[in-house]
Structure 1
Amino acid sequence: MKTIPVIIDTDIGSDIDDTWALAMALGCPELDIKLITTCTGDTTYRAKIVCKFLEHVGHTETPVGIGISFNSLLENQKAYVNGYQLQNYPGEVIDDGVKAMAQIIMESEETITLICLGPLQNIAKLLEIEPRINEKIRFVGMHGAIFKGYKGMNGVQAEYNIVQHVDSAKVVFSSNLDMTITPLDTCGMICLEGDDYQAVAKATNKTMIEVIDNYEIWQRAMGVKELEMTTRSSILFDTVAIYLALDNSFLEMKRLGIKITNEGKTIVDGSGKAINVAIEWRDQRGFYDFLIKRLLKAP
Structure 2
Amino acid sequence: MASSAPIHLVFDTDIGSDVDDALALAVLLGSPEADLLGATTVYGDTRLRARLTKRLARLAGRALTVVPGAAETLTGRPVWWAGHEGRLFTDLDTESADPGDAVAYLVDRVTAAPGEVDVVAVGPLTNIATAITSSPAFARDVRHLWIMGGRFDTAEPEHNLKCDPEAAAVVFGSGAPITVTGLEITTTVRLDATDVAAIAAAGPLGEALKAEIEQWWRFWNEEWNCPHDPITVLTLLAPDLFTFSPEGRVTVDPEGTSRFEPGEGRTRITTAAPAKRVAQEIVHRIIAAASST
TM-score when scaled to structure 2?
0.88
Q: Which residue of 1 aligns with 2:6?
A: 3
CA offsets 1:34-92 (integer angstroms, 9 cap, x no match): 110001111111112111212222111x2001000024422323313434226x44xx6
Gaps of 5+ in 1: 148-154
Task: Please give the secondary structure, in 1, of the residue aligned with 2:210.
Answer: helix
Instruction: Note the residue ranges of structure 2 that are not aligned, 5 or more in a row.
Output: 73-77
Which position in structure 2 is the counterpart of 1:150? none
2:31 matches 1:40: no
Q: Which moved more, 1:63-72 or 1:272-281?
A: 272-281
Per-residue deviation, residues 127-155 of structure 1 (Å, max 9, x unmatched):
111111222211001011001xxxxxxx2
The corresponding residue for 2:70 is: 68
Count of residues paired in the alignment: 279
Amino acid at match of 2:31: C
1:159 aligns with 2:163: no
Partner of 1:142: 148
Q: 1 CA distance for matches of 2:287 and 2:106? A: 29
CA contact (8 A) 1:79 1:217 kept: no
**How far apart, in 1, do the equivalents of 2:192 and 2:216 lie?**
18
Within 5 Å, which residues of 2 pair with 1:70-89? 70=72, 71-72=78-79, 73-85=81-93, 88-89=95-96
Distance between the aligned counterparts of 1:105 and 1:279, measured in 2? 28
Residue identity opposite 1:190 in structure 2: V
Q: How many Å separate the matches in 2 of 1:270 and 1:224? A: 39
Superposed displacement of residue 236, structure 1: 0.9
Deviation at residue 263 of structure 1 after TM alignment: 1.7
Aligned to 2:75: none
Distance in 1 (alpha carbons) for counterparts of 2:196 and 2:116: 35
Counterpart residue type for residue 74 of structure 1: A
d(CA) in 1 for partners of 2:258 and 2:220? 31
Aligned residues with identical type, % of pairs: 23
SS in 2 for 1:234: coil
CA RMSD after TM alignment: 2.1
SS at match of 2:267: strand
1:168 shift after superposition = 0.5
**Secondary structure, aligned partner of 1:191:** coil
- Residue 22 of structure 1 is matched in structure 2 by 25
Match of 1:277 among 257, 265, 269: 269
The 1-side partners of 2:257 and 2:115 are apart by 33
Question: What letter matches 1:80 in structure 2?
Answer: L
Aligned pair partner of 1:96 in 88, 93, 101: 101
The change in CA–CA distance for 1:63 and 1:8 in structure 2 (over 3 A counts) is same
Q: 1:224 aligns with which of 201, 221, 234?
A: 221
Matching of residue 200 in structure 1 with residue 217 in structure 2: no
SS of the aligned residue for 1:259 comes to strand
Distance apart, 1:259 and its partner CA: 1.3
1:69 partner SS: coil
The 1-side partners of 2:85 and 2:178 are apart by 30
Structure 2: distance between partners of 1:297 and 1:277: 28
CA distance, structure 1, for counterparts of residue 203 and residue 127 of structure 2 = 32
1:128 matched to 2:133: yes
- Shift in Å, 1:270: 5.2
Q: What TM-score, normalized by structure 1, do the two folds share?
A: 0.86
CA distance in 2, matches of 1:271, 1:180: 15
Q: Which residue of 2 aligns with 1:57?
A: 60
Find the counterpart in structure 2 of residue 151 from structure 1: none
